[in-house]
Structure 1
């Protein structure tokens, strides 16, 4: 029986080295009726390289609300659509979640076409434990939000993986040292699969010094891998204390306690007593400055 609806293909593309394009990805992209691309100009260069002439439509964070219904209608009418991002696997810190979720809700077929992914690529060669890891995407841009965000990850025992812009990497490294401790082992991966691929390994201060002395390491985006928490003792108190100290730098104790309770799961009364014991919390809240 002939299929009455089309399919949505989620297609991974190379993150740098075009030799990582899979035969299946190339075949799917050449046969679909429409390719939804985060940046049509960049995807056109990729398609041109492989001699693919499928029709392109822009699909990104700023237009997904208006474009997604059109794409779903195309699939329901029997046409096949491929979703690609600028590089790597779609939906991993890239647009596409709402489209895939809506397709599933409508009972449409969604087919993954796996391939390159920067986070997994970096983890495979970083030398940090890979049996348990947590991908957390991009950190917040303001310092207090970033510190609170990192504080909420302090007790995680698996390897942490995040993305960061080279423009903010020094500020983020400083906050990692403050929120997670200066002794954590880090790996910074940049230009993955390309000619100038770089892996830097060391502590926060060692890597910050290396990057300050090499402006090229602040270009583009980096994958940051952080050793998980291997400390012993009471992880709940240790995390609560760390989060309270961070929040208390810019917030009154009551606000710091309320946020820390959401981040750590520790009861507010216990956090308030701990805050008094540690003498944390400002009398006047301070407006965030951009990092």
Structure 2
């Protein structure tokens, strides 16, 4: 096995989604750094992976770091896995990958399942441009402020949420983004009771209040509609339009405010014809 750190994606739920390469790596490395060794033993038993497991999670990653880096520095091959999906995506492992890079140890991606990409692929919401935001804050006030800061984001937004906070988060999203903002709720990806709902934030919030969900969910929220592009330009244009030729008034308004030329020109035509 070529020495280095192997960041291995593992199934989200269906154990058949483990790739042949991922299985080979997990069988061949010296040790597997796993978020929860008890959980990962299920995967290992399914695929006859007998490699030793060592726990690396949010509460002990700093303590484990020195020992794992020493083993990597000695020429061993180590695999990093999370409970499900691709490590580091709202999961532990950043310190280990960062430490390996700093030490000059090769880091290899063994690509595979990711809840973010899987949810986007089935949501039915534009996914050519998106922002992954992970888990929203647990406290209500912090969560609302967090959503308010994202309300005008034009790109599709992706959030993770736990079952006991799902209804509260959807309620806050609906209040902040508007009840009619389109969104998809995807949960239990690749598992027996996988569910996907494409609707509005208002409807999804009502559904979550009426039905206690199981398992972690992925929320995919359509981005904010584009603004008019005028803003401060409206006031400046109103001052210039009567004193200057239309084109010059438009040019100066755009130069002063940075507003959209197309929007300012359209508004200037409206003002001239009124």
Global fold match (TM > 0.5): yes
What interval of TM-score do these two structures reach, taking the shorter chain for normalisation?
Answer: 0.7 to 0.9
Q: Distance in 2 between matches of 1:52 and 1:46?
A: 8
* Unaligned ranges ≥5, structure 1: 238-291
Matching of residue 92 in structure 1 with residue 89 in structure 2: yes
Alignment of 1:248-287 (within 5 A): none
Q: Distance in 2 between matches of 1:58 and 1:113?
A: 19
Specify whether residues 235 and 189 from structure 1 end up closer, same or farther in structure 2 by C-alpha distance, changes over 3 A only: farther
Q: Distance in 2 between matches of 1:143 and 1:50?
A: 42
Matching of residue 206 in structure 1 with residue 203 in structure 2: yes
Matching of residue 136 in structure 1 with residue 133 in structure 2: yes
Provide the TM-score with structure 1 as the length reference.
0.77
Residues 30-54 of structure 1 show CA distances to partners (whole Å, capped at 9, x for unaligned) of 0000100000011111101100100
Alignment of 1:42-191 (within 5 A): 42-191=39-188
Q: Distance in 1 between matches of 2:230 and 2:35?
A: 41
Q: 1:223 aligns with which of 189, 208, 218?
A: 218
**1:277 counterpart residue number:** none
How far did 1:230 drift?
1.1
Residues 186-223 of structure 1 show CA distances to partners (whole Å, capped at 9, x for unaligned) of 100011111211001111221122223322xx222100
Moved over 6 A (4+): none
For the pair shown, the structure with the greater C-alpha radius of gyration is 2
Q: What's the Cα RMSD here? A: 1.7
Q: Distance in 1 between matches of 2:115 and 2:99?
A: 26
Q: Distance in 2 between matches of 1:100 and 1:236?
A: 45
Q: Distance in 2 between matches of 1:45 and 1:172?
A: 32
Provide the TM-score with structure 2 as the length reference.
0.81
Paired residue secondary structure (1:112): strand
Specify whether residues 206 and 108 from structure 1 end up closer, same or farther in structure 2 by C-alpha distance, changes over 3 A only: same
